[in-house]
Structure 1
Amino acid sequence: MNLHAPLVIDVAGHSLTTTDRQRLAHPLVGGVILFGRNWQDRAQLTALCRQIKAVRPDLLIAVDHEGGRVQRFRTDGFTHLPPMAALGELWMRPDRREGASALTAMNAATATGYVLGAELRACGVDLSFAPVLDLDYSESSVIGDRSFGRDPRMVSVLAQSLMHGLQQSGLGHCGKHFPGHGFVQADSHLAIPVDRRSLGAILSEDAAPYGWLSASLQAVMPAHVIYPRVDARPAGFSARWLQEVLRRRLGFTGAIFSDDLSMAAARQIDGHAVSFTTAALAALQAGCDLVLLCNQSVVEAGAPIDEAIDALSRSVLEGQWQPDPASEERRLALLPLSPALPWDSLMISARYMQALSLLPS
């Protein structure tokens, strides 16, 4: 077992190259994140996942696959999943029977989680970066219908239901974006959003689902958002947010992923432009267990990935960063515990067929 493998990297194409295999074999690499460019069809995706596991069975294979507009695989039999806002709308639908709409929405959320998870697992994927726990203040275009809704109680219950479906399928999950991205307008892919509310206001609203779901969430991804009344650094680089608030105050014990360190909001810390390596070290030192370096295999033949691996290796040798066995335990806990149902068997299974019938139209 590795002492700690925090880097989650990407690969460029439909199959692994010799260079991909060399990178994935490095003991500091703990996983792969897949994108639309890695998709041709189910057979190809399944073969790619097998190639990754052949390099190292403990490598975590992850993808952003939420439903709605954030769904990497959409053809060759994959179900077009509803955005999470559709489940929130189902919850709010008028019904003469008190609470009936909420129960219908919860059942639909569990079904959505099962379909999402079972289809990915059948192709060899281990984890999806879902559910979105951000509240919808109708301000953020990057969140929007990815959110279940505005009420943190409704968001928590529907997320718990979705996570139950994911758990039934065997797929790992990750709640995002702690402590909340929905209040700010700026897109952290392009700029650094700033949320000037107090810690108390954020804890009572946006961060509330993380406390209520702390015993259920397997992983959490912090936001590349600055909350200056709490810390001058974005949450993903803030020990106050990750260790003091998320771990100690809210009681979360699972894995913490950084958001993509190639995003604009991740490349500025304390007012200074930083490299991937500096950002990765800052995230790890703040309390992240795993750090994402996305879309870098297609930049200069993946040179940024090689630089990050080499620099992190040097930081270990020079004592700038020490691998954490507890972080490695949290990473390994995200791997599936049982074999997935093959696609053809899934398509005729009673549970899958019933789940499809419960999806919002």
Structure 2
Amino acid sequence: MTRGPLMIDVAGLTLTDEDRELLAHPMVGSVILFSRNVDTPEQVRALTDAMRAVRPELWIAVDQEGGRVQRLREGFTRIPPMRTLGHHYDRDPDAAIASARQWGETMAREVREVGIDFSFAPVLDLDVGVSGVIGDRAFHSEPMKAVTLIRAFMQGMKAAGMMTIGKHFPGHGSVAADSHLELPVDNRSWDEISAYDLVPFRELAAELDGIMPAHVVYPQVDPLPAGFSEFWLKTVLREQLGFTGVVFSDDLCMEGAAGLGDMRQRVAVAMGAGCGVVLICNSREAVRSVLG
């Protein structure tokens, strides 16, 4: 079936009539769950079943990275921050790789069991001690050590039947600002970014099913935030890295996207740049402005 390009959210623990109306719209093809949508595993399963009763082909997603970013909690395994795997790797690489694979499989299996298709994971950003919003979400500060752990985590996810979605292309870990609240600017050169932040994306592009770009501007490379940039998404990601999967925008309601215009304009620019699925979260007004 053809899946609509919009990923939206729903109001609470059960579907409202308005939720059903929006999910039935042909432009909507995906849903993301937040903490307000989650109680017990049984409740989550009932919610996802109700969504598919409206639209069987819906993709249902969640952020279940571990650590600070874990929406499913009661009745689910608590997953450690990914940076703990990096610390483990520095002491015992083989054990850390095995642990990363197991955590990936555990996360994915539990998410899939409640009717959710995928988590937006893993994080491919590198931890350089600058970004508070990334921080211990990153596996490591050294690119190839991060790649090794991320690949193992992805192998676990795939063993449980889950898509892998890498974020935040081409790297959010070297800027301090939080793109939820403002537009971060990374003033490094292409050579610096390519030699460091891009390494995990370059190494893993062929193994990832999806990628989410960052609401970050790299002005020495392109004047637009990466998620709205044809250079980053088409020239670099598709042509240079050979990525063939799905590009998911980050949430277009975030402040990092505000400079691109109203929501209809943001959707148009993101899709024109190469995003196949665009997220509009926590604003019914914004969703309706696009659906018309």
Regarding TM over 0.5, the answer is yes
Give RMSD over aligned pairs: 0.9
The aligned amino acid for 2:264 is T
State whether structure 2 residue 291 is matched by structure 1 residue 292.
no
Large movers: runs of 4+ above 4 Å:
none
State whether structure 2 residue 290 is matched by structure 1 residue 308.
yes
State the partner residue of 1:82.
Answer: 80
State the partner residue of 1:317.
Answer: none
State whether structure 2 residue 252 is matched by structure 1 residue 261.
yes
Shift of 1:303: 2.6
Shift of 1:18: 1.7
Q: Whole-Å Cα distance in 1 between the matches of residues 71 and 163 of structure 2? A: 16
State the partner residue of 1:102.
Answer: 93
Secondary structure of the residue aligned to 2:180 is coil
State whether structure 2 residue 181 is matched by structure 1 residue 190.
yes
The aligned amino acid for 2:44 is L
Secondary structure of the residue aligned to 1:267 is helix
State the partner residue of 2:28.
Answer: 29
Output one character per residue of 1:332-351: Cα deviation in whole Å (capped at 9) or x when no partner: xxxxxxxxxxxxxxxxxxxx
After TM superposition, the structure 1 = structure 2 runs for residues 169-318 of structure 1, keeping only pairs within 5 Å, are: 169-269=160-260, 274-296=261-283, 302-310=284-292
The aligned amino acid for 2:20 is R
Secondary structure of the residue aligned to 2:248 is strand
Output one character per residue of 1:303-339: Cα deviation in whole Å (capped at 9) or x when no partner: 32111212xxxxxxxxxxxxxxxxxxxxxxxxxxxxx
Shift of 1:203: 1.1
State the partner residue of 2:146.
Answer: 155
Q: Whole-Å Cα distance in 2 between the matches of residues 167 and 113 of structure 1? A: 8
Q: Whole-Å Cα distance in 2 between the matches of residues 230 and 304 of structure 1? A: 30
State the partner residue of 1:327.
Answer: none
- Of 103, 113, 135, the residue aligned with 1:144 is 135
State the partner residue of 1:329.
Answer: none
Q: Whole-Å Cα distance in 1 between the matches of residues 29 and 94 of structure 2? A: 39
State whether structure 2 residue 64 is matched by structure 1 residue 60.
no
Shift of 1:53: 1.0
Secondary structure of the residue aligned to 2:128 is coil
Normalized against structure 2, the TM-score is what? 0.98
Secondary structure of the residue aligned to 1:145 is helix
Shift of 1:250: 0.7
Secondary structure of the residue aligned to 2:29 is strand
Output one character per residue of 1:75-94: Cα deviation in whole Å (capped at 9) or x when no partner: 1x20110000010001001x
Shift of 1:183: 0.4
Secondary structure of the residue aligned to 2:212 is strand
Shift of 1:295: 1.3
Shift of 1:173: 2.2
Q: Whole-Å Cα distance in 2 between the matches of residues 144 and 107 of structure 1? A: 23
Shift of 1:172: 1.9
State the partner residue of 1:50.
Answer: 49
Secondary structure of the residue aligned to 1:61 is strand
**How much identity, in percent, do the aligned residues show?**
50
Q: Whole-Å Cα distance in 1 between the matches of residues 131 and 151 of structure 2? A: 23
The aligned amino acid for 1:120 is V
Q: Whole-Å Cα distance in 1 between the matches of residues 59 and 82 of structure 2? A: 25
The aligned amino acid for 1:78 is F
Count of aligned pairs between the two proteins: 292
Secondary structure of the residue aligned to 2:215 is coil
Output one character per residue of 1:149-203: Cα deviation in whole Å (capped at 9) or x when no partner: 1111011111111111111111222100000000000111111111111112111
Q: Whole-Å Cα distance in 2 between the matches of residues 205 and 35 of structure 1? A: 32
Q: Whole-Å Cα distance in 2 between the matches of residues 86 and 79 of structure 1? A: 16
Which structure is richer in relative contact order (CA contacts within 8 A, separation 6 or more)? Answer: 1
The aligned amino acid for 1:133 is L
* Long gaps (5+) in structure 2: none
